[in-house]
Amino acid sequence: MSGGNTVRIQVDGRELTVRADATLASALMDADVIGFRTSVSGDARAPLCGMGVCYECRVWVDGEAHRRSCMMRVRDGMVVVTGAAHD
Amino acid sequence: MTEALNPDCDVAVIGGGPAGIAAACVAAEAGRRVVLLDENPEPGGQIWRRDIRHAAPPLAARWLARLSASGARVVSEASVVSARFDHGISRFVIVAEHGTSPQVISAGRIVLATGARERFLPFPGWTLPGVLGIGGAQALLKGGMDVAHRRVLIAGSGPLLLPVAASMARAGAHVLGVCEQAPAYRVLRFTASLSVRPSLLAQAVRYRVAFARAPYRTGTWIAEARRDGEHIVAMLTDGARERPIHCDLLCVAFGLVPNTEVARQLGCATRGGCIDVDEDQRTSLPNVFCAGEPAGIGGVELALAEGEVAGSIAAGVMPSGGARRARARLRVQAARMHRAFALRDELRALPAADTIVCRCEDVPFGAMRSAWAPRQAKLYTRAGMGPCQGRICGAALHYLFDWDVDSVRPPVEPARVETLIAGAALVAADSHIASENT
């Protein structure tokens, strides 16, 4: 478990300590995740609109696909898989 | 959700930004049962999005406190998937996805306050990681993104460039510059027109001072972006000369586009790309109101005034004279802003044949034919058939080729089959609830 203002999440197998109320997309940007998802042609994509419209930030969260990381806050124990790791 | 939500209400407000908050407050304070559906983790929309590092600005804090005290039931993380008037129960039925489960609401009246999104125009390299929107960068910043010592270039168009540059600078970013595509004379004339509102002018000056060391250039835009190792090289142009700017984040967007999808799916008439409303914020459909950006881009004060008017009328009470007067004045101000920041023709010539236009389906500009409408683009190239449902490429193609927007059918957001089934199944249960309440 984590204390203070941080939580621990797992991103592509890496354990990260992030601010407890951070938006997941913001936490992933800080973790230097380059490719949140892989496009149809194989390009790495990352957040564009930041507000749930473009779906470029979508990642697997706790086993569920297509979750918009910009629309949720991190939770302790969250397991995230990005497009780079999945494809 | 810990307690069961009574799925029937008098007024359903869709969208929890300033307009929706104002509408929900006045309607609930007038004694109506109000449900506010918003897809973010907390209400506030974009401009009042919760910043995890700073307290809410005073205006936002006052309205959010008022919302908490109003009695309106706020349902966060709820994305509206469809809305219809059900003649069987004589109520509107709104289907939303709440987290990963369905939520169905029935309502006597609806206030649509779905806000706006940014307009993105394609240029070579715009799909690279690290190229963000301007409001998009602001949203990520408020969500905790660390930009300390990161080189940030901000480009595009509109008044939003200033406050975001200021936020970035205050968060420790190295703001390299702010590049407005509108020509100098128009920006100067617009700034001068703010003198009738000294507080707005003062605010603009404060923003400018916050990133004082970075240049604010007019008549410039980004022609191209390339990746160079860990960072981005942006080619800045004034139409005559280009020069490279090395940055970590490139924030580019060109004004705002109203989110009219739910309204159009319901069947509301549009005018000039926005939802057509009268002075009471009524749409062309009985008992359906629209307030804020979808009724015409105009900023937070106009959204608040329109939300007050819509919420009052929807609740069956007279709106305050102040809200009505503010609305009239602010609409004039909004029109001035649109004229000042109109987009230049050169932006239509930016994409190359291999520049992706539809990011969801990786459809290049060269695959498009200007003579098409969105329907042909979908059929022949799949453009617009991805999860964003043409929200990003549609606005771009509208500017590039002057295409109209395509019609909207449910679901207006990607949704689980479970949610679509629940929407259909719960209508039968709702008719039981409706008859109990009459």
Contact A25 B52 (CB under 8 A): no
Average pLDDT over residues B407-428: 83
Write down the mean pLDDT value for chain B: 93
B288–A contact, CB cutoff 8 A: no
ipTM: 0.95
Q: What is the three-class DSSP state of A73? A: strand
Do A40 and A49 touch, CB atoms closer than 8 A? Answer: no
User: β-strands B101-112, A58-61: how paired?
Assistant: unpaired
Tell me, what's the pLDDT at A32?
87
Tell me, what's the pLDDT at A2?
42
Encoded tokens for B158: 């509109």
Contact B117 A53 (CB under 8 A): yes
Q: Which of B88-92, B148-152, B246-250 has the lowest mean pLDDT?
A: B88-92
**Residue B279 amino acid letter:** E
Q: Best interface-test mutation with B: which of A23, A58, A60, A61 has the largest number of B CBs within 10 A? A: A23
Q: Which of B221, B289, B218 is nearest to B253 (CA)?
A: B221
Contact A23 B131 (CB under 8 A): no
Question: Distance (Å) from the C-alpha of residue A86 to the closest C-alpha of chain B?
Answer: 18
H or E element at residue B378:
helix B374-381
Contacts of B132 in chain A (CB under 8 A): 47-48, 50
pLDDT at B137 over 60: yes
Tell me, what's the pLDDT at A87?
52
pLDDT in tens, B231-253: 999 999 999 999 999 999 999 99
| Angle formed by the axes of helices B18-29 and B300-315, nearest 10° | 30
Tell me, what's the pLDDT at A73?
97
Q: Best interface-test mutation with B: which of A49, A64, A72 has the largest number of B CBs within 10 A? A: A49
Q: Which of B270, B279, B289, B278 is nearest to B92 (CA)?
A: B289
Tell me, what's the pLDDT at A86?
63
Contacts of B386 in chain A (CB under 8 A): 55
Tell me, what's the pLDDT at B427?
52
Tell me, what's the pLDDT at B5?
62
Alpha-carbon gap, residue A2 to A20, rounded angstroms? 9
B146–A contact, CB cutoff 8 A: yes
For residue B13, report the phi and psi dihedrals to the nearest 5 degrees.
-105, 125
Q: Look at B174 and B100; give whichever has higher pLDDT.
A: B174
Q: Best interface-test mutation with B: which of A5, A17, A48 has the largest number of B CBs within 10 A? A: A48
DSSP B39-98: SSSSS-TTTTPPPTTSPPPHHHHHHHHHHHHH--EEE-SEEEEEEEEETTTTEEEEEEEE
pLDDT at B211 over 50: yes
Average pLDDT over residues A11-37: 95
User: β-strands B116-118, B256-258: how paired?
Assistant: antiparallel
In terms of DSSP H, where are the helices of B155-276? 161-170, 184-193, 198-210, 261-266
Average pLDDT over residues B4-12: 83
Contact B140 A44 (CB under 8 A): no
